[in-house]
Each structure stands twice: as C-alpha cells, then as structure tokens.
Amino acid sequence: AQSVTQLGSHVSVSEGALVLLRCNYSSSVPPYLFWYVQYPNQGLQLLLKYTTGATLVKGINGFEAEFKKSETSFHLTKPSAHMSDAAEYFCAVSEFEAAGNKLTFGGGTRVLVKP
C-alpha cells in the first residue's frame, strides 16, 4: 500500500527566503510523485510531477523537487519565497493498480510568508 508523510503541518518563511517542504513516501512499486498547491477556497492545482527520467523536476511558479529513491523522498523547494506562495501544499503518490491510478495524499503543509 502506498502512503505519504509530510513533515511539518505549518512552515513560516520570510519573503525572499528559501522554501523547503519535506515529503517522504512509501510505495511497493516505482512511484509517480506529485506536488499540488491549494489556495484558500480553491481546488488543488498541480505544481509539478515526477514520472520517469530526470530526478530533478521543475514546476510552475519557480518550484522544483528532487526524487531520491534511496531516501524515498520528494522534497519541494523554491529559492526565494514570494507573498503569493502562501497556500497549502500537498505531496501525493500514485501507483497504477488494477483498480485505477489512485492518488494518495499527505496531510499537507501550510506555508505562511512573512514580509
């Protein structure tokens, strides 16, 4: 069974500082990994995804994530935080099973950006 753990339910960063959100996964087969962002009262929007190939994945809004199989991690980073990055971020893992491509989400990390 697949699972996702996000370390830290809340993260506070200063504007211009590094954003680092941690995600560890468990999967019995090679995983597909995703980061989604959720702004208040909105649905989830895909930031980036890892399927195969290059382990460093670049996404929208300056975010990137690196897949590290040995550490079962997929941490999300952004070099310089902007006020508009304040939102909740969800890491998710998917495996293609007989029943479909089920997405399993972590508990989420809420990011606060201080001016």
Contact footprint for other proteins (CB under 8 A):
4, 9, 32, 34, 36, 41-46, 49, 51, 90, 92, 94-96, 99-108
For residue 102, the minimal CB distance to other proteins (Å) is 6
Smaller CB separation from other proteins, 83 or 99: 99
From residue 4, how far is each of 27, 77, 90, 94, 101 by CA, in Å?
A: 9, 17, 10, 10, 15
Q: How far is the CB of 34 from other proteins (least distance, A)?
A: 8
Tell me how far apart the alpha carbons of residues 29 and 110 are, in angstroms, rounded to a whole number. 29
The contacts of residue 20 (CB under 8 Å, 6+ apart) are 11, 75, 76, 77
The tokens for 78 are 């952004």
In the complex with other proteins, the residue whose CB is nearer, 17 or 38, is 38
Q: How far is the CB of 33 from other proteins (least distance, A)?
A: 10
